[in-house]
Amino acid sequence: MEFTPKYEAVASAETGQTTLWQALRARLREHSTLLRFAAIGLSGYVTYQIVFLLLYESPLIWFLPAKGEDLGLIAFSHSDARLLITTLVAAELSIVGVFFGHHFWTFRDRATAEKPVWLRFVQFNAKASVSSLGLITLVVNLLTLQVGASPYLAIPAGVAVAFLWNWTWDSRYIWRRQSP
């Protein structure tokens, strides 16, 4: 038996009860913003992975330091300059893509507090500096350099750490609902 809107209406009229499909659709509708948020986040994750792969593994990117080359910065040193640079670049490119995805799709139906797009972008980038540039980069670099994990396995761990932070900030502050 197929669960189509026509069937749902007939089944509901005959039994006076909500079908499983109707209940599931209603629950998904209640969480549509969270589902869109996750979908856009997934697209950011894919962007991050592709950019990371292209920059970290490609010999065509000749101007980056070689893998494993030390980098001495003012306050600290890093044992793989290429890893540090590529995680930061991949993070920022995915941040820009995710912002536009959230702005034009995830939160498009929400009556949000009035603020210019540029201000929302600055707020989003500041929040993302903590999550993507901070949390994800920290987790990826720690797991890769300290634990010996593959960076391709460390990236999902970093994303998982940042997901809750991002949802809280994006839904409650950056695209917060208008006050009644």
| Annotated domain spans of the chain | 32-174
The mean pLDDT of the chain is: 83
> Which tokens in the block code for residue 136?
């994800």
Q: Which DSSP string corresponds to 111-164?
A: -BPP--HHHHHHHHHHHHIIIIIIIIHHHHHHIIIII---HHHHHHHHHHHHHH
The CA distance from 87 to 137, in Å, is 6
More confident residue, 23 or 107: 107
Query: What confidence tens digit (pLDDT) does each residue in 21-62 have?
Result: 777 777 766 678 888 999 999 999 899 899 999 998 888 888
Prediction pTM value: 0.69
Cα 21–chain centre separation: 29
Task: Say if residue 5's pLDDT is above 70.
Answer: no
3-state secondary structure 11-64: HHHHHCCCCHHHHHHHHHHHCHHHHHHHHHHHHHHHHHHHHHHHHHHCCCCCCC
pLDDT the model gives residue 39:
94
